[in-house]
Amino acid sequence: MPEKEPTSPVSFIKGLILEDLKTNKYAGRVHTRFPPEPNGYLHIGHAKSICLNFTLAAEFGGLCNLRFDDTNPSREEVEYVDSIKEDVRWLGFDWADREFYASDYFEKLYLFAVKLIGKGKAYVDDQNAEQIRESRGTLTLAGRESPYRNRSVNENLDLFERMRAGEFPDGSRVLRARIDMASSNLNMRDPVMYRILHAQHHRTGNRWCIYPMYDFAHGQCDSIEGITHSICTLEFEDHRPLYDWFLDEIEIYHPRQIEFARLNLSHTVMSKRKLLELVREGHVTGWDDPRMPTLSGLRRRGYTAESVRNFCERIGVAKRDSMVDTALLEHCLREDLNKKALRVMAVLRPLRLVIDNYPDGQVEELDAMNNPEDPAGGTRKVPFSKVLYIEQEDFLEAPPKKFYRLAPGREVRLRYAYFVKCVGVVKDDITGKVVEVHCIYDPATKGGDSPDRRKVMATLHWVSAGHAVPAEVRLYEHLFTKADPAQEEEGLDFKSRLNPTSLEILRSCKLEPSLAGASRGSHYQFERLGYFCVDTKDSEPGKSVFNRTVTLRDEWAKIRRTEQETATARQKTQAPPVETTATIEDFSKLDLRVGVVREASLVKGADKLLKLGVDIGEGRTRQIFAGIRAFYPEPEKLLGRTVLVVANLKPRQMKFGVSEGMILAGTGEGRLGVVTFEGDLLPGDKVS
RNA sequence: UGGGGUGUCGUCAAGCGGUAAGACACGGGCCUUUGGAGCCCGCAUUCGGAGGUUCGAAUCCUCCCACCCCAGCCA
C-alpha cells in the first residue's frame, strides 16, 4: 500500500489502482510497462504514456518495464529501438535491467497457441486475407464462419506445426481464435492470432516465420512479466474483451487493462504515419528536426526533460478526446529555463549604433549578471566600445504611441552600460533605410544607473561591434498554421497547413564574446529575445549555430498583433477593394531572394499554371504556382535555373495548393520570361 | 442502422447528492537595469439538451443530441 494518499488530484487511473490495492487484487503490487513498437521515433504523446507508467509505478513503490512490442518484423528496425531507449533515458526514467521484447516470449506464445488449439479454441484457416475480410461481416451484419473452422484438433495441431516449420508461403494460412463470428465486437469475430511472414526479425533473425498478432501477444506478455495495470490508449478499449478472453482461456495470471485518451497538441501532428511522411518528403530535415514534436526534435530545439515531464503532469489524464494548447508546453519550458538559463546578449538583426562622444579605441569591461533569478550565478565581463550593434526593431524613426524604445531625440539605457540619446541617423541613399544610428552617451550613467534619478523608457541589449562573435540563428515557429492540421476539410490534407515560415535562418547575428566557446546543447537566454541553444548537429567551434527554443513573452509583439488584427478587421468590414499599384517605396519592402528551381510541373486542370519547387536556402523547397505555362510549355526546362523570388509574401491558398511566393518575370511584346541570371549567387541570398 | 467510449470556462481538468478547485490562455494593475521574471485582481449563477426523483442534482433515473473509435494477416 502507498504510504500516503496521493496529494495531486487523483486521476481516474489512480482511482482504479487504489481500488485494486484496497481489495488486494494484486497482493499490493503495482507494476506497469511502457510498450513501444520500434517502428518510429517517440513523440510528446509517448512522453505522456512514459511519464504516466513510470511515475504511477514509482508513486506506489512499484516498477515499470520497458518492453518493445516487436511482433511485426516487416516494419521494425534497430535504429528505432536505440532512439527509443535514448529518449526514455533522456526523459529521466530508468528501467534498470527490465528491458524486454515481445520477441523474448515467442516460444511461450507459441505454446499458448498450442494450448488453445488443444482446447478447441483456435484453428488454422486456409482462407486468404481477402476471403477473411469478406466473411468478417460489417458493423451491422454478422460474419460467416470459415469453412475450416471445424477442423479436428489434431489437424490444427499438425498444420500449425507445419506453419512454424516453414512449409507454407506468406499469406496462405493463419491461426485464428475460435470465438464468435456474430459478435457485435468485430475484434471477437475469430481474430487472427498468427500470420506467416518469412521475414528477418531484428532480434530473432530467421528463427521464426510465423509471428503473433498484437492481440495475441500483448496481454500474454503483460501476464508473463507480472504486470498489474496495463495502461494503453482509448482505441484499445474494444480490444479489452479479447485481452481478457485470451488470458482466461490460456488460464494464466490476469493483469488489468486500463485505457486513457492519447495526447493531441495544437499546431502539430502526432501520428507516426504523418510524421514519417514529413520526414520522407523533406518538409523537415529529419525525425530530430527542431520543429518536430518528437522527443529528439524537442531535445534538439532546446526543450528540457524536466519541462516535458512537468507538462505531462499538468495536462492530466482522462478519457475524453482533447487538444492541448502548445502554449502550455511553452509555458512549462519557460518556467524551467527561466530558473536555469544563463543570460547573455545577442543581436539577431544588427543595426550599427555609433556613440559620437565616446573616445575612439576605448574599451570598457562592464559587469553583467549571469542570472538575475539566481544571485549565486555570479557576473561576467562584457566589452563596451564606441561602435555597437543593436536590434533593428529597437529603433524606429517615427515611433508609434506605445513604442518606447530608441527614436530620434530619445534616451534609452543600454543594459549594464550607459544611457544613450539618439542624435541622428544615416540612411541608405537608394532604399532610404536607416543603416546607422548616432548617439551621445552620459558618462555619469555607467552601469546603467542615473545619479539624478532620471528615467528612461526602455533598456536595450547590445553587442560591441569590434568584439562580436558571428553566428547563425534559426528561428522556429509552429510547424502548422492551423491548430488541428489533421482535420481534413474540403479535400485538403494536413500538409496544406504547413507553416511556410516555420523556419527562418538568420546568418548575420552578433553574439557577445562570452559565447565564443559555448558547447553544443547548452541553453542560454538571449536577453529580451528568448531562449536559445547551441545546435547539437550543425554547430561547429568556429561557426556556431543556435536554435531559438522559445521566445520570451513579449508585450510589444502582443500590442502589434492586436493592432494589426483590429486594422485588418476594420479593413474587412468597411474598406472597398482598391486597385493597388506598387510604388517604389513598396518595392523596398519586398524580400527578394535568389532561388533555384528544383521541381517544375504542369498543373492538371489549370491551363496557365506551373507548379514549381524553389530552393531559396531555407533547407526545404518552397511551393510556388506561377502563371507562366504559356511561355514555358516544357516546365522541365526550368529545372536548375536561377530565378528571383519574392520571399516575404503571405502564403496564398489556391485551388491546387498553397503558393509560398512569387517568381519575378519580365514582359515584352507578347513574350514573357522569368528573371534569371548566372553568377555565384547562392539560394537564399538577398537581392536588392 | 451494430458495438465500445466521451460530453464541466477559449484550452486542459477537479468534482463521486450539500450548493462549480486548479492550470494555461485572456483582460486589468503593481513592480522592474530584460516590454522578461515576480506579485495582485478579474475571468462558468452553471456543468451537451429536455424531463423526472430529492429539502437539495454537474453528480441518481428516463429520453434525446453531438463527437471519437472499431470491418489490417498494423500496433
What are the pLDDT digits (tens) for A98-129? Answer: 999 999 999 999 999 999 999 999 999 999 99
Alpha-carbon separation of residue A101 from A1, A209, A221 (angstroms)? 29, 17, 9
Can you tell me the mean pLDDT for A146-172?
98
Residues 32-91 of A with CB under 7 A from strand B: 35, 37, 69, 71-72, 75
Local structure of residue A189 (DSSP, 8 states):
S
Confidence label for A630 from pLDDT (cuts 50, 70 and 90): low
pLDDT in tens, A285-332: 999 999 999 999 999 999 999 999 999 999 999 999 999 999 999 999
Q: What residue has cell string 515560415?
A: A501
The distance (Å) linking the CA of A371 with the C1' of B30 is 23
Three-state SS at A393: helix
The reply to whether A565 belongs to the active site is no
Can you tell me the mean pLDDT for A408-436?
97
Radius of gyration, alpha carbons of chain A: 32
Cα–Cα distance measured from residue A256 to residue A313, given in angstroms and rounded to the nearest whole number: 23
Local structure of residue A676 (DSSP, 8 states):
B
Stronger pLDDT, A68 or A681, i.e. the higher one: A68
> In this model, does residue A620 exceed pLDDT 70?
no
**Nearest by Cα to A122 from A156, A162, A88:** A156
Strand A350-355, strand A434-442: pairing: parallel
Residue nearest to nucleotide B21 (CA to C1'): A9
The distance (Å) linking the CA of A269 with the C1' of B11 is 17
Residue A19 burial (10 A CB sphere; 0-12, 13-18, 19+): exposed
Which of A98, A136, A144, A262 is catalytic? The answer is A262
Contact predicate A645/A661, CB 8 Å: yes
Cα–Cα distance measured from residue A437 to residue A390, given in angstroms and rounded to the nearest whole number: 9
> In this model, does residue A219 exceed pLDDT 60?
yes
Strand A342-344, strand A523-526: pairing: parallel
Residues 413-452 of A with CB under 7 A from strand B: 413, 415-416, 447-449
Question: Using CA atoms in the order A36, A39, A42, A48, what is the torsion angle rounded to 10 degrees?
Answer: -30
Which nucleotide does the CA of A238 lie closest to, via C1'?
A: B4
Q: What does the buried/exposed string (b/e) look like for A605-629 if buried means 16 or more CB atoms within 10 Å of the residue's CB? A: eeeebbbbbbbbbbebbbbbbbebb
Stronger pLDDT, A656 or A39, i.e. the higher one: A39
> In this model, does residue A457 exceed pLDDT 90?
yes
Distance between alpha carbon A522 and the CA centroid of its chain, in Å? 20
Which nucleotide does the CA of A214 lie closest to, via C1'?
A: B75
Contact predicate A523/A533, CB 8 Å: yes
Three-state SS at A569: helix
Q: What residue has cell string 524537442?
A: A298
Residue A662: per-residue pLDDT: 75
What's the whole-number average pLDDT of chain A? 90
**Nearest by Cα to A384 from A444, A461, A332:** A461
Q: Which are the contacts of A644, defined by CB distance < 8 A and separation ≥ 6?
A: A592, A593, A594, A595, A663, A664, A674, A675, A676, A687
The distance (Å) linking the CA of A650 with the C1' of B23 is 35
Grid coordinates in use for A543? Answer: 561557426
Cα–Cα distance measured from residue A628 to residue A663, given in angstroms and rounded to the nearest whole number: 10
pLDDT in tens, A512-526: 999 998 999 999 999
Query: What positions of strand B are covered by protein, i.e. any atom < 7 Å from a CB?
Result: 1-8, 10-16, 21-27, 33-38, 67-75
Residues 316-355 of A with CB under 7 A from strand B: 316-325, 327-328, 331, 334-335, 338, 343
pLDDT in tens, A583-602: 333 344 567 777 777 777 77
Can you tell me the mean pLDDT for A247-267?
98
Alpha-carbon separation of residue A282 from A30, A266, A286, A597, A622 (angstroms)? 44, 22, 8, 16, 11
Which of A25, A85, A108, A272 is catalytic? The answer is A272
Range with the lowest mean pLDDT among A58-62, A249-253, A372-376, A419-423?
A372-376
Residue A616: per-residue pLDDT: 79
Confidence label for A6 from pLDDT (cuts 50, 70 and 90): very low
Which of A33, A37, A512, A593 is catalytic? The answer is A37
Which nucleotide does the CA of A400 lie closest to, via C1'?
A: B35
The reply to whether A37 belongs to the active site is yes
> In this model, does residue A557 exceed pLDDT 60?
yes
Which nucleotide does the CA of A237 lie closest to, via C1'?
A: B4
Residues 535-594 of A with CB under 7 A from strand B: 552-556, 558-559, 562
Can you tell me the mean pLDDT for A196-224?
98
Confidence label for A606 from pLDDT (cuts 50, 70 and 90): low
H/E stretch holding A500 reads none
Contact predicate A584/A578, CB 8 Å: no
Confidence label for A626 from pLDDT (cuts 50, 70 and 90): confident
pLDDT in tens, A321-367: 999 999 999 999 999 999 999 999 999 999 999 999 999 999 999 99
Task: Answer yes or no: is A390 CB < 7 A from strand B.
Answer: no
Confidence label for A678 from pLDDT (cuts 50, 70 and 90): very low
The distance (Å) linking the CA of A329 with the C1' of B64 is 39
> In this model, does residue A429 exceed pLDDT 80?
yes
| % of chain A surpassing 70 pLDDT | 87
Calculate helix-pair angle for A44-59, A12-22, nearest 10 degrees.
30
Confidence label for A575 from pLDDT (cuts 50, 70 and 90): very low
Range with the lowest mean pLDDT among A196-210, A599-613, A657-671?
A657-671
The distance (Å) linking the CA of A557 with the C1' of B28 is 18
The three-point CA angle A677-A682-A683 to 5° equals 90
Task: List phi, psi (to 5°) of A671.
Answer: -120, 160
Grid coordinates in use for A101? Answer: 521484447
Residue A4: per-residue pLDDT: 32
Task: List phi, psi (to 5°) of A295.
Answer: -65, -35
Residue A676: per-residue pLDDT: 53
pLDDT in tens, A372-385: 999 899 999 999 99
Confidence label for A171 from pLDDT (cuts 50, 70 and 90): very high
The reply to whether A262 belongs to the active site is yes
Three-state SS at A41: coil
Cα–Cα distance measured from residue A649 to residue A659, given in angstroms and rounded to the nearest whole number: 9
Residue A367: per-residue pLDDT: 97
Alpha-carbon separation of residue A269 from A65, A181, A490, A634, A659 (angstroms)? 27, 36, 19, 37, 22
Which nucleotide does the CA of A127 lie closest to, via C1'?
A: B73
Alpha-carbon separation of residue A652 from A487, A493, A500, A545, A567 (angstroms)? 19, 16, 10, 31, 20
H/E stretch holding A166 reads none
Confidence label for A251 from pLDDT (cuts 50, 70 and 90): very high
Range with the lowest mean pLDDT among A7-11, A65-69, A258-262, A459-463?
A7-11
Cα–Cα distance measured from residue A612 to residue A317, given in angstroms and rounded to the nearest whole number: 45
Residue A51: per-residue pLDDT: 98
Confidence label for A144 from pLDDT (cuts 50, 70 and 90): very high
